[in-house]
Structure 1
């Protein structure tokens, strides 16, 4: 395989270790086509950043609380192909010229941005630095606004009363959201109360609410429900989502799109 840049290789090492719990240095050498010395440098850097734990002969994941929130930079490289499919579908089927869009800070929603260049006279309002940085490339063709508030370094989002108040006084055609998990019984749930409050304010000020949730989020229950399922207009996911859950959500009146 072709050699990856060090930053991307290290992200993929973290993902592999998260999935498998541990890996030997030799396995990583073979997987990434690099020398043992390069792998040990990678592991030393990742351990210093607190992302893995080196053990004899290899590396192990750092066990985190089940309700711990993943870092934004970690989420950016997870399930990339699924996120791209969902994001492109959302942009192509739920955006029109002249729309006013709320786009939250999740990485799947941020992946929509590159597909917005096809539209005219859009206004996009958000609360995340990652999404804003992507949108900056499309200005001035797209009008871009960001709320104020306290910056959370874990997710690079603006939250708190100032952010919530901002969204109460602006209105959107469509609000694009994501979350940590979804089940037919618990609904759509997320991990951080501050994030949830801003998402609720965004949803309440939009004519319709669209959730972008890849299949890995099905069956996951997090801390708190974002909004009641009856207030969700559509949910976009991929074809690996459990069929029973998809049908259960549709039976509740949610327009589920499988891509």
Structure 2
């Protein structure tokens, strides 16, 4: 059932659409009429929202409503679509991850829809100094203009779906650096296979990020647990910690802990 209507404040179009995606993912389906009641708007507006979301593959359009877009870990989904999925969970994960960062550290923020939430939290925190290494254009932009944050951007080939830079140039730049913590965003984590991503170049750079970091923390919503993608980044034994949300399957959590990985659920 759709929850009680949202408070009467006017929502921006993108905000409303993001909430629609969250509701459809959470409930498994939603009708036009239910969504119109929920958001206090017309059915015409909701149909336009659903059509726009379907065109961008955020949801699947059905007769009279919408269904979740089946998660396909082997598909390289554009970042702007990823950001609409499980946003509340990613926000909590970002908050928990950011609290681990200490003043004066050097951290690596991998590209991704969860790691960008860490960057947004960093903007609100009071560091005297912090160095952030990243291969993500959007993360670099999030942290630009903050005098206490030194941003080191890796070069390389731009992947337009993720705004990330990968390839030999990025690896050569990273090989000369070291970091206290890596916050790694992934597309799939299977306790038996390891941490995976759709792009082989991204996987190679991620593996190097792990090697140059003292601590590796994978940050991912629970929908990624048990999923497998094309390229393996590393076995789970090379992870120090996983931060996910509290809907994570108990058997997967236990398998990770049995492999020596600390698991934090938020």
TM-score (norm 2): 0.83
Corresponding residue for 1:83?
90
Structure 2 match to 1:105 = 111
Q: Do the aligned partners of 2:21 and 2:84 also contact (CA within 8 Å) in 1?
A: no
Residue 107 of structure 1: SS of its match in structure 2? coil
Corresponding residue number in structure 1 for 2:139: 131
Match of 1:226 in 2: 233
Matched, 1:74 2:70: no
The alpha carbon displacement at 1:207 in A equals 1.8
Q: Residues 173 and 207 of structure 1 are in contact (CA less than 8 Å); yes or no, is this contact kept in structure 2? A: yes
Cα distance in 2 for residues equivalent to 1:106 and 1:192: 13
Output the CA distance in 2 between the equivalents of 1:91 and 1:62: 30
Residue 36 of structure 2: aligned partner: 29
Instruction: Choose which of 245, 249, 263 in structure 2 pairs with 1:256.
Output: 263
**1 CA distance for matches of 2:120 and 2:41?**
32
Displacement of 1:18 after TM fit?
6.1
Counterpart CA distance in 2 for 1:251 and 1:59 is: 39
CA RMSD of aligned residues (A): 2.7
What does 1:156-171 align with in structure 2 at a 5 Å threshold? 156-171=163-178
Does residue 181 of the first structure (1) align with residue 194 of the second (2)? Answer: no
SS of equivalent to 1:185: coil
Q: 2:25 matched to 1:6? A: no
Measure, in 2, the Cα distance between the counterparts of 1:237 and 1:63: 20
* SS at structure 1 position matched to 2:177: coil
Q: Confirm whether residue 145 of structure 1 aligns to residue 152 of structure 2.
A: yes
**Alignment: residue pair count:** 257
Q: 1:35 to 1:215 in 2, by over 3 A?
A: same
SS at match of 1:241: coil
Deviation at 1:126, TM superposition (A): 0.2
Identify unmatched segments of 5+ residues in structure 2. 1-5
Q: Report the Cα offset of residue 15 of structure 1.
A: 5.1
1:229 CA drift (Å)? 1.9
C-alpha distance in 2, partners of 1:233/1:136? 29
Q: Distance in 2 between matches of 1:239 and 1:61?
A: 20
Aligned position for 2:202:
195
1:88 aligns to what SS in structure 2?
Answer: helix
Contact 1:209 1:234 in 2 (8 A): yes
Q: Return the TM-score normalized by structure 1.
A: 0.85
